[in-house]
Amino acid sequence: MKKATQLALGVLTAVGGFFDVGNIATCTQAGAHFRFQLIWSLILATIVVIFLIEMSGRFAAVTKKALPDAIREHLGFSFWFVPFLILTAVHLLVLAAEIGGICFALHLITGLPIQVWALPVAILVWLFLWRSTFNAIENSTSILGLITLCFVVAAIWHHPPVHEVLAGSLPSMPSHDPANYWFIAVSIVGAVIAPYLFYFYSSGAVEDEWDSTYIPINRVVAVIGMGFGSIISVGAIIVAGIVLAPRGIKVSDYHQAALMLTEIFPFWGYLLFAISMAIACLGAAVEVALSMSYTFAQTFGWNWGEDLEPIKDARFSLVYTIALLLASLFMVAGIDPLKLTIMTMATNAFVLPFVTIPFLLLMNDRKLLRDASNGIISNIATAAIVVLALVLAVVSIPLTFMGGS
Amino acid sequence: MTKQVHVEHLYGRRVRDRQDKIIGRIESIRATWKGNDCVVEEYHLGAAALLEKLGISIGRLIGWMPREPLSVPWDQLDLSDPDRPRVKCTLDELKKLSSRA
Amino acid sequence: MREQIDIIRDILDKQLVDRDHTAMGRVDGIVLSIDDGAPRIDHFELGFVVLACRLHPRVEQWLRAIRTRWSVRKSARQIVPWSAVQDITQREIRLDVHAIETSAFDWEKWLRKNIVSKIPGSGEE
């Protein structure tokens, strides 16, 4: 029974982590600009993320160690230091984008400017972390997150042309604006394979005291949880492709994205979009902030745990406190949340080699994992993922300048 | 006179032989227990030692097995200047030593 | 404890815990002492300065300058003598100490006392 409830961890990671501000931004842009043509990049990224999540969970279950802990220990401080700094910076940007998403949702509901909401939102997320235990966070966000299913409902309601959706599931050359096409493709991959997912998921498995008997459950969680998140994202692409694309609405502002649900829910479509966005981003903000605390505590060997009261792990708690404060300043400064999100997702794609290369090294360590180390299929997949990550890292920067406007 | 050497500074340091030729980097330091003490036995050098330390089985996947790592017994490594560790013999003598062991 | 051990792989960078399994930092540095016989482990070193030195000597000097002004820790390098090591497992190294009494917890204690306990809901009674 306890193990059945572990599926909640997967659903939380799926809804909070998979479907977040990055997916909302990149999927609506993909649908609005290229209809269903970019669904393939979402599917590709989902397959990658399933493999990586499965490996993070299996590693934590067997070694009782989360990723940052194991990377520092086995690959050494000198190896980890630069990726650690870069990932900290990227996590801060992602956190700022998630806070931006919540602020925008509140702006949509109340009409008050985004800047006004920055600090209250940061405090709300902080209160959640300061007062709750890991399980409370896990359960509440996964139940609330079900509201994002409205994108799937809307997609089905619109009766999308099935053959076109299937055609979009396979890669194809763009009919127009190739630089923008490839930029959005890279951003979708960056949004789906968000680095914090793996540090959060493996640390969560350690918090939940997984052992080797969790390996099968972990596999189910990875496939179903990530698949679930992916279906919501496909829903968002389809709705944007049907509602926004024919009207020539290019999403350069979240206000335009918010129109996508108004066709089937004329009266409360706006509100539904805002609430979905607020909840998806809240769940993700909590996970990103926790990931930062996990990464710091494990890198330096501090005592950590979201179930401890803050007084028992002061350094752990202060990392997310400071991170939330700094991240909220982006919105206080009046940076456009959509632009910030899109740039951050391209940055996510850029740092993927730092995330994926340790997987290749750690998952093959027979002294650590023994029978649970990677088999041939996982290894070929990981090697392919590392190659993909290196390609994305090389192309993401020039594409940002060519197609990111 | 007791001398102190930092392991974290030896790690990855290039080792030279008597003829000043670089023979590899220190990747692993093997030790055993003598009573309560942890005593160094030998140093392993080179890429093979690095892979051995990482426990990598990837070599097997792509059909490439690295050679045995070069091992230097503790008494053959001169650490009087820890920034420039040096073996007291030549590379050939070292290989003979490790094949005999 | 196992027969053969790799000092770099099995000890350097490993998690340290105290008697009650409270995490108390990592093995940031290891010092060997060499007299007549084979080198043996003398002590571990902990602290940001030790880590900085591993990156680059200049980073260490720079950090030293900052910490003389700001740090709440008494000494730059916390020394853990080899004799304090109780057990080395696959997962961690257990020390025969009480973490809260060591300087590994100087920052933690300072933050608890001066910041965290002043924020409501921290669990401080």
Q: What is the dihedral of CA A327, A333, A338, A344, to 10 degrees?
A: -40
Indicate yes or no: CB of C40 within 8 angstroms of CB of B39.
yes
Express each pLDDT in A35-63 by its tens digit: 999 999 999 999 999 999 999 999 999 99
Indicate yes or no: CB of A361 within 8 angstroms of CB of B56.
yes
Indicate yes or no: CB of A301 within 8 angstroms of CB of C111.
no
Residue B39: how many CB atoms within 10 A of its CB?
16
- Cα distances (angstroms) measured from residue C58 to each of B12, C33, C53, C119: 19, 25, 8, 37
Ramachandran bin of A48, using left for φ above 0, alpha for ψ from -120 to 50, beta for the remaining angles: alpha
Which DSSP symbol is given to A262?
A: T
The span from the CA of A66 to the CA of C26, in Å, is: 15
How many domains does chain B contain in total?
1
Check CB contact of C95 with chain A, cutoff 8 Å.
no
Task: Judge contact between A334 and A115, C-beta under 8 A.
Answer: yes
- Cα distances (angstroms) measured from residue A13 to each of A127, A187, A223, A237: 20, 20, 12, 21
Neighbours of chain C (3+ CB pairs under 8 A): A, B
Domain carrying residue B21: 7-100
Task: Judge contact between A185 and A193, C-beta under 8 A.
Answer: no
The span from the CA of A39 to the CA of A30, in Å, is: 8
Of A295, A288, A329, nearest to A315 by C-alpha is A295
Asked, for residue B43, whether it belongs to a domain, the answer is yes
Asked, for residue C95, whether it belongs to a domain, the answer is yes
Q: Taking the CA atoms of chain B, what radius of gyration do you get in angstroms? A: 14
Structure tokens at A375: 């088999």
Q: For position C112, which CATH number holds?
A: 2.30.30.240
Q: What is the pLDDT of residue A273?
A: 94
* pLDDT exceeds cutoff 90 at B62: no
Chain A positions touching C14 (Cβ under 8 A) are: 73
Asked, for residue C124, whether it belongs to a domain, the answer is no
* E strands, chain B, in order: 3-6, 14-16, 22-34, 37-45, 70-73, 77-78, 86-87
Domain carrying residue C62: 7-118
Q: Residue C14: CA atoms inside 13 Å, Cβ hemisphere, count?
A: 21
Q: What is the pLDDT of residue C1?
A: 45
Residue A370: how many CB atoms within 10 A of its CB?
12
Structure tokens at A315: 């350094």
In order along its 125 residues, chain C shows pLDDT tens digits of 457 889 998 999 999 999 999 999 999 999 999 988 899 999 999 998 899 888 887 777 787 777 777 766 666 788 999 999 999 998 899 999 999 988 889 889 999 999 999 998 888 75
Q: What is the pLDDT of residue C68?
A: 74
How many domains does chain C contain in total?
1
The span from the CA of A344 to the CA of A21, in Å, is: 10
- B-chain residue closest to A360, CA distance: B58
Neighbours of chain A (3+ CB pairs under 8 A): B, C
Q: What is the pLDDT of residue A302?
A: 95
C-alpha distance from B49 to closest chain C C-alpha (Å): 11
Task: Judge contact between A317 and A310, C-beta under 8 A.
Answer: yes
The span from the CA of A393 to the CA of A397, in Å, is: 7
Q: Residue A181: CA atoms inside 13 Å, Cβ hemisphere, count?
A: 16
* List of chain A residues with pLDDT < 70: 1-6, 8-17, 404-405
Check CB contact of B7 with chain A, cutoff 8 Å.
no
Check CB contact of C25 with chain B, cutoff 8 Å.
no
DSSP string computed for A28-59: HHHHHHHTTTTHHHHHHHHHHHHHHHHHHHHH
- A-chain residue closest to C46, CA distance: A300
Ramachandran bin of B97, using left for φ above 0, alpha for ψ from -120 to 50, beta for the remaining angles: alpha
Q: What is the pLDDT of residue B58?
A: 53
Task: Judge contact between A404 and A184, C-beta under 8 A.
Answer: no
The span from the CA of B82 to the CA of A38, in Å, is: 57
Structure tokens at B97: 């030593």
**ipTM for this model:** 0.91
Q: For position B15, which CATH number holds?
A: 2.30.30.240
Residue A147: how many CB atoms within 10 A of its CB?
15
* Domain extents in chain A: 2-403
Express each pLDDT in A313-333 by its tens digit: 999 999 999 999 999 999 999
For the segment B76-87, the average pLDDT, to the nearest whole number, is 89
Neighbours of chain B (3+ CB pairs under 8 A): A, C
Asked, for residue C123, whether it belongs to a domain, the answer is no
Task: Give A90's contacts (C-beta < 8 A, 6+ positions apart).
Answer: A195, A344, A347, A348, A351
Task: Judge contact between A370 and A135, C-beta under 8 A.
Answer: no
The span from the CA of A145 to the CA of A372, in Å, is: 33
Q: What is the pLDDT of residue A15?
A: 61
Helices (H), chain B: 7-10, 47-54, 58-61, 91-100
The span from the CA of B21 to the CA of C46, in Å, is: 35
Residue A75: how many CB atoms within 10 A of its CB?
17
The class level of CATH for A2-403 reads: mainly alpha
Chain B positions touching A364 (Cβ under 8 A) are: 54-58
Asked, for residue B1, whether it belongs to a domain, the answer is no
Name the residue among A74, A131, A297 with its Cβ closest to that of C121.
A131
B50-69 residues touching A, CB cutoff 8 A: 54-58, 61
A-B CB pairs within 8 A amount to: 23
The span from the CA of A393 to the CA of A389, in Å, is: 6
Of A100, A193, A190, A99, nearest to A397 by C-alpha is A190
Asked, for residue B45, whether it belongs to a domain, the answer is yes
